[in-house]
Amino acid sequence: MAKDNGGVIGVLNTPTSTSASGVWQLMSEYQARLSGTWPAPFNIGSSSARFNSGSSDYLNRTPSTTTDRQKATLSFWTKYSDDTSGNVGRLFNFGLYPNGTLIYFGDGAYKGKLLIDNYAATVATIGLVTTQLFRDYSAWYHIVVAFDTTQATASNRVKLYVNGTQVTTFDAAVYPSQNENLFFNFSSSTYQIGKNHQPAYFSGYLAETYMIDGQQLTPSSFGQTDSTTGIWIPKAYTGTYGTNGFYLNFSNASSLGTDASGNGNNFTVNNLTSVDQSKDHPTNNWCTLNPLFPLNDNLAFANGNLQATKASGSATGSYYGNFGVNAGKWYWEMKCTATGGADQWIGVGQMRTLAPSGYPGNDTYCIAAGHTNAALRYNGSNVGTYTMATWTAGDIIMMALDMDNSKVYWGKNGTWQNSGSPAAGTGAYTNSTIFDGNFIMPVGSLYQSGGDVSYNFGQPSLSVSGGYSDGNGYGNFTYQPPSGYLALCTNNLASNG
């Protein structure tokens, strides 16, 4: 029994920035809070960082101290994107060539698979290749890679978990030798997030990114199953980090490499700017474009699958968004950054293969406006009853979709077309063949080489001047969404479609 512990049996403790266990008198806790030594509550973030391989975005730091090179855990959430470079999956690289411990999505024959490698003087000592493909561009994946080379069983030396479940079957599986030193927690290594030595870069989103020094942990330290939905979701990590551990929650838009663990292991930011902070997050997933659509002829996708560019040729490249709705009212924007000269279309439609000639509006499943058409297009013909302005580079096209009343509206630079008012329900286009009983998605197409558009479903890849959100407080739009119309994100979908 400790006299200065209030007469209560228990261990006296000194709080740190991360823990304050044991028995505490109220006055002692109060004094610790005043002095700034009482730990802050553990919370998960609400932001992600959007990496774009075409911009050579990455983070880097070099540990100042060598600690445990045999045990470490890396936990992160990622939403994979696509572009034309092929080498877009370079997630984590610990080391300096020809040495390194790497975690990345493959390319070529390994495209869409997750790989874990270790090279010592270019000799591979770890080589894990997943059987499953990571090709759901609308989904957030939680990935945990846990190392402990002291384990007697080889397969326990590197453990991979996806969405809370351990992966035990691989296309290839080479494990490190017992007690092998890897290249994390090593003062002669450089940590790179979003880049490797080639250099090749990552395209996609990262959120809730942890490195734990000296421990091989399981996903339960970082995630849990939601009791209502049964979906694996993030939770706050409450353990210790070790000397070289860090936590990136990307909450500081002006410095996306800020370590939130309390260790001060901040990363240098390379080419990422404040606009690369996104609210697309595993706790609130947002609509993007879908690069798996079968008629995306020579289309390149970038900036977190929010930008579509016609890379070459004169053939229609069509695309869909990856969220479909059958109820509710929804709003989004598209900025034309280059017309490419001919046939740029934007609209809505059912998720299915478009007509062979490719563009939305040339069949009975979609309705679209063209940038030189001055009218809507449906089933290969102009809709003469709807007046639509043309547009060019720099213009922003607004879309309002009312699934409750089977209506859709187009706007340009803040003005709704056809004398429309989505809030009042007037001046809309409606068509029961398209809407009634169907899931409807954003659609569009580019025809001529050089055409380029950037979508804003509420988490833009370009700077916006308006800063408007929907009625639920979600989104960052150039123009105010009409009353009752919401951004396409899962927090809104849960109650509206």
Give yes or no for a contact between 452 and 469, defined as CB atoms under 8 angstroms apart: no
Other beta carbons less than 10 A from residue 396's beta carbon:
21
- The pTM score is 0.90
**pLDDT value for 24:** 58
Predicted confidence (pLDDT) per residue in 305-336, tens digit: 999 998 888 888 889 999 999 999 999 999 99
**pLDDT value for 18:** 47
Residue closest to 306 by CA, chosen among 177, 161, 137? 137
**pLDDT value for 22:** 58
**pLDDT value for 384:** 84
Burial class of 165 by CB neighbour count within 10 A (0 to 12, 13 to 18, 19+): exposed
Q: Running along the chain, 497 residues long, what does each successive block of 10 average in pLDDT?
A: 46 54 60 55 82 95 97 97 68 94 92 94 95 93 98 98 97 97 95 92 96 98 93 96 98 97 98 97 96 79 94 85 95 95 90 69 92 92 91 97 96 97 97 91 91 96 93 97 98 84
Residue closest to 147 by CA, chosen among 104, 122, 178? 178
- What residues are paired with 114 via a beta bridge? 105
Predicted confidence (pLDDT) per residue in 431-490, tens digit: 999 998 899 999 999 988 889 999 999 999 999 988 999 999 999 999 999 999 999 999
**pLDDT value for 228:** 87
Residue-range domains of the chain with CATH = 3-35 (no CATH), 48-278 (2.60.120.200), 299-496 (2.60.120.920)
Give yes or no for a contact between 350 and 439, defined as CB atoms under 8 angstroms apart: yes
**pLDDT value for 436:** 87
